[in-house]
Amino acid sequence: MSVRIRRAREDEIEAIATLCAEAYEEMASGLDPGDYHHQVARVSDVATRFREGELLVAEDGGDLAGTIAYYGAGKHGHDRVIWECAMMRMLAVAPAFRGRGIARLLAQECVVRAQKDGATAIALQTSELTPVAVGMYERMGFRRTQEFELYKRKYWIYALPMALFPPYAER
């Protein structure tokens, strides 16, 4: 696999927003139309994630294959996650690139960044609308810490304590 994880460039924001909207199309059948449009607007707000966090992309053979935003401890702005946690948000893989391990590579990069930053844990939000992602997070060692309802569906906060890993070493 020739996938490279790197920081996104500002000139890629529009392409990343399109990738996110396409990746989340699978949620359309699970949400009311109004809720779905709100969700698409949220996942497509790449400019805010670029500005406030570290927007990462997976590039495969020169093509944008996926994206995720990483926020260091105290920078995520999520009211359900304690400040000492780092957070990863809006993981999206373009439909044409699914099944290649790209989502896991993006998530692992966030875990490494959290280790390097000295965060106590890394957290994420997911839902029953993304069962493949939930399974991947659980296989990586993330554990559900909270459950709540949003858009008439179950959503969860998952966390992975950094104490489960050896200290970060430069690679």
C-alpha span between 44 and 127 (Å, rounded): 18
Phi, psi for residue 44 in degrees, rounded to 5: -85, -5
* Side chain identity at residue 159, one-letter code: A
* Side chain identity at residue 150, one-letter code: L
C-alpha span between 66 and 18 (Å, rounded): 11
Angle between helices 102-117 and 131-140 (to 10 degrees): 50
44 token code pair: 């497509």
C-alpha span between 101 and 108 (Å, rounded): 11
pLDDT tens, per residue, the chain with 171 residues: 589 999 999 999 999 999 998 987 776 666 566 665 666 667 778 999 999 999 999 999 999 999 999 999 877 666 666 667 899 999 999 999 999 999 999 999 999 999 999 899 999 999 888 899 999 999 999 999 999 997 778 989 999 998 876 665 554
C-alpha span between 127 and 30 (Å, rounded): 11
Mode of pairing for the β-strands spanning 143-150 and 121-127: unpaired
Read off the DSSP letter of residue 96. G
Residues sharing a CB contact under 8 Å with residue 130, sequence separation 6 or more, in sequence order:
26, 27
pLDDT of residue 121: 93
Which class is domain 3-164? Answer: alpha beta
Residue keyed to tokens 């070493």: 169
Q: Among 113, 27, 111, 13, which residue's Cα sits nearest to residue 57?
A: 13
pLDDT of residue 25: 75
Cβ(43)–Cβ(24) under 8 Å?
A: yes
